[in-house]
């Protein structure tokens, strides 16, 4: 998927094919994803590089870390996407794509390749720039994404941040019953309540005219 001014390298598909076929045939069924780097129009990497030229990762935590460091681009197998379809909430137009990557990471390995194949430029009105507002307008999908992330072994710091956003967007969606349930069942949500409320109030002030 591209924004309107993004493009890929001319040989991107050939390179994807090469790295996929380098995986032994018997092991390919265990992989869902090939992920590569992005660069800006000047050739600078957007976000950090992977630590090795090719990294085959099975760990849920490591996959989460690799996907979180900057803008990434990749392809997924048809089978894995059929097994992990995007949830649909009536009236909402956005689901964080991370919900699919997190589900895939629990069941599949991923190959991360240290090669920039997508030329990426963030648009002023694109998804990245309007991330918070878009999530505010689709709170059920957003909250489900953070809710599932809280169950993953991603480390204390990331779980605390996830807890804050879970509270924040639960309040935007008025999902109070679900928030109360998680407050009493998850230490990370309970501890995140004050910060989540502060971010919620900040969002309301910042976007009150929209």
Q: pTM for this one?
A: 0.87
pLDDT in tens, the chain (210 residues): 555 557 889 999 999 999 999 999 999 999 999 999 999 888 899 888 999 999 999 999 999 999 988 889 999 999 999 999 999 999 999 999 999 999 999 999 999 999 999 998 766 555 555 889 999 999 999 999 999 999 999 999 999 999 999 999 999 999 999 999 999 999 999 999 999 999 999 999 999 866
3-state secondary structure of 162: helix
Give φ, ψ of 123 to 5 degrees: -85, 145
Nearest to 68 by CA among 7, 108, 112, 29: 112
- Measured CA to CA in angstroms, residue 9 lies from 52, 122, 128 at distances of 21, 17, 22
How many CA atoms are closer than 13 Å to the CA of 23, on its beta-carbon side? Answer: 22
88: which 2 tokens?
């649909």
Check: CB of residue 118 under 8 Å from CB of residue 36: yes
CA distance 140 to 124: 25
| CA 170 to centroid of chain Cα atoms | 18
């Amino acid at each position: 998927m591209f924004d309107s001014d993004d493009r890929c390298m001319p040989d991107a598909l050939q390179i994807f094919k090469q790295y996929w076929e380098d995986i032994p045939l018997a092991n390919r069924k265990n992989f869902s994803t090939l992920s590569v780097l992005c660069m800006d129009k000047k050739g600078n990497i957007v976000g950090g590089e992977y630590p090795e030229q090719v990294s085959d990762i099975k760990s849920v935590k490591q996959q989460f870390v690799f996907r979180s460091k900057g803008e990434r681009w990749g392809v997924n197998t048809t089978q894995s996407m059929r097994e992990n379809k995007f949830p649909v909430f009536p009236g909402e137009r956005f689901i964080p794509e991370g919900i699919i990557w997190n589900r895939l990471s629990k069941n599949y390995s991923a190959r991360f390749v240290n090669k920039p194949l997508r030329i990426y430029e963030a648009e002023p009105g694109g998804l990245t720039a309007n991330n918070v507002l878009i999530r505010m307008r689709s709170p059920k999908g957003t909250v489900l994404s953070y809710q599932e992330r809280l169950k993953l072994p991603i480390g204390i710091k990331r779980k605390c941040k996830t807890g804050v956003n879970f509270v924040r967007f639960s309040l935007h969606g008025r999902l109070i019953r679900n928030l109360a349930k998680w407050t009493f069942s998850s230490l990370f949500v309970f501890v995140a309540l004050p910060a989540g409320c502060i971010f919620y109030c900040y969002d309301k002030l910042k976007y009150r005219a929209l």
